[in-house]
Amino acid sequence: MAKYLFTTAYTTEGLRGLLADGGTSRVEAARRTAESVGGRLDAMYFSFGDHDVYVICDLPDNKAAAAVSLAVSASGGARSKTVVLLPPEEIDAATQQAVNFRAPGA
């Protein structure tokens, strides 16, 4: 399974729901969401700043991650962005991959 980071900012409607239901209920909702696509919730943290929530999940593939992101954003309660997290071993393999690239203007 691959790891994904979801950065989420609540809308006004979403903040009202958070105030009504509390943070732990949102963690349980995130856990159920990840499990519904064959994954698992790794961690979830609330924060200050541009994003209200950071969620790390193990998900089967990009299709599952896209489905989660679309469902969250379509709910109207939050805006979500998805980041694919790569383990160091995948970066090691990428550094060994031959690439045919020409820089613009070169």
Residue-range domain boundaries for the chain:
2-86
Per-residue pLDDT of the chain (106 residues; tens, 9 = 90+): 999 999 999 999 999 999 999 999 999 999 999 999 999 999 999 999 999 999 999 999 999 999 999 999 999 999 999 999 999 999 999 999 999 999 999 8
User: Quick one: pLDDT at residue 30?
Assistant: 97
Q: Are 29 and 18 in contact (CB under 8 A)?
A: no
Fold of 2-86: Alpha-Beta Plaits (3.30.70)
User: Quick one: pLDDT at residue 19?
Assistant: 96
Number of neighbours of residue 47 by Cβ within 10 angstroms: 11
User: Quick one: pLDDT at residue 91?
Assistant: 96
pTM above 0.95, yes or no: no
User: Quick one: pLDDT at residue 23?
Assistant: 96
SS (H, E, C) the chain: CEEEEEEEEECHHHHHHHHHHCHHHHHHHHHHHHHHCCCEEEEEEECCCCCCEEEEEEECCHHHHHHHHHHHHHCCCEEEEEEEECCHHHHHHHHCCCCCCCCCCC
User: Quick one: pLDDT at residue 106?
Assistant: 80
